[in-house]
Structure 1
């Protein structure tokens, strides 16, 4: 969704405050494509600070289905996004100072809300997703989900070279 910023950037410097719908239906990353299963409208406020500096705030909630890292069952993950960006549309990314954010989601006089929120989702993306804390994962032989039942595969046993380390943990629980 594009929001026109011409009122904010003109000489009148009117504040733009809109509630728009998020057009993104899925999140595409190198690790895969994740569907957005629920989303709320995005409340966006753009204020003029000075010159071509703007203060952009955006708030929304959405839910994404992400597979569990151990058993591959889908997990619903909630994202509550409250982002505040201080940008200067007159500067290129190479000229930015420390107090300014990148403005790659602004093209001319238009703010791309989906692009702004994609970067926020990306920065808050979880490093590990588990369906539950005690997820047992998949059998490494047959692929059976060990949370739903056991399999009839042979136990490959533990590496005998690791017996010394195993004994250390058995004998000294404090380690």
Structure 2
């Protein structure tokens, strides 16, 4: 969602409160496409400070369906997003990396709110997602979800480091 800031940038020291809907339908990253199943409007507070910088503050919540890392079932994961950005309006000779990043959120007189939300979700993405703490995962041979029951596959897997010794035992059984 692009938020028009023309009226805010026109008047010095102006403050505005807005509720803005989130346009994101999916969260697309290198990990894949994840559907956003629930989203709240962003409660924004934007302040123009002496036509030098904009302070953007806001909060929202998103629920994204992420597959469990063990069994691949969809897990609704809620992200509480707090936006607190300072966006410079004037060009300054001292280049700060954080201010350069904040400048990317502005497209002329519009604030790209979806990009801010995308970046916040990306930073807060969980390292591991589990459907439950004791998730059994899936069978390595047949692919059955072991949370729904056991499969008929052989459970004991020989240690591959012991393969040479197992071959010796097999040779003695044949004699």
TM-score, normalized by length of structure 2? Answer: 0.83
- The whole-number CA distance in structure 2 between the counterparts of 1:142 and 1:88 is 56
- The whole-number CA distance in structure 2 between the counterparts of 1:160 and 1:121 is 41
CA contact (8 A) 1:53 1:89 kept: yes
Q: Which residue of 2 aligns with 1:60?
A: 60
How big is the shift at 1:76? 0.5
- The whole-number CA distance in structure 1 between the counterparts of 2:89 and 2:51 is 9
- The whole-number CA distance in structure 1 between the counterparts of 2:64 and 2:98 is 32
Aligned residue for 1:8, secondary structure, equals helix
- CA offsets 1:53-94 (integer angstroms, 9 cap, x no match): 1110121111111100000001011111111011213348x9
CA contact (8 A) 2:13 2:50 kept: no
- The whole-number CA distance in structure 1 between the counterparts of 2:91 and 2:12 is 21
Q: Which residue of 1 aligns with 2:155?
A: 155
- CA offsets 1:110-167 (integer angstroms, 9 cap, x no match): 01111111111111111110001111111111111111111111124241748xxxxx
- The whole-number CA distance in structure 1 between the counterparts of 2:78 and 2:18 is 23
Aligned residue for 2:18, secondary structure, equals strand
- The whole-number CA distance in structure 2 between the counterparts of 1:99 and 1:139 is 49
Structure 1 gaps of 5+ residues are: 163-175
Count of residues paired in the alignment: 161
Q: Which residue of 2 aligns with 1:34?
A: 34
CA contact (8 A) 1:70 1:136 kept: yes
Q: Which residue of 1 aligns with 2:136?
A: 136
CA contact (8 A) 2:69 2:128 kept: yes
Q: What is the correspondence of 1:7-156 to structure 2 with a 5 Å cutoff?
A: 7-91=7-91, 95-96=95-96, 102-156=102-156
Higher helix share: 2
Aligned residue for 1:84, secondary structure, equals strand
- The whole-number CA distance in structure 2 between the counterparts of 1:97 and 1:131 is 38
- The whole-number CA distance in structure 1 between the counterparts of 2:50 and 2:96 is 15
TM-score, normalized by length of structure 1? Answer: 0.83
Structure 2 gaps of 5+ residues are: 163-175
CA contact (8 A) 2:71 2:136 kept: yes
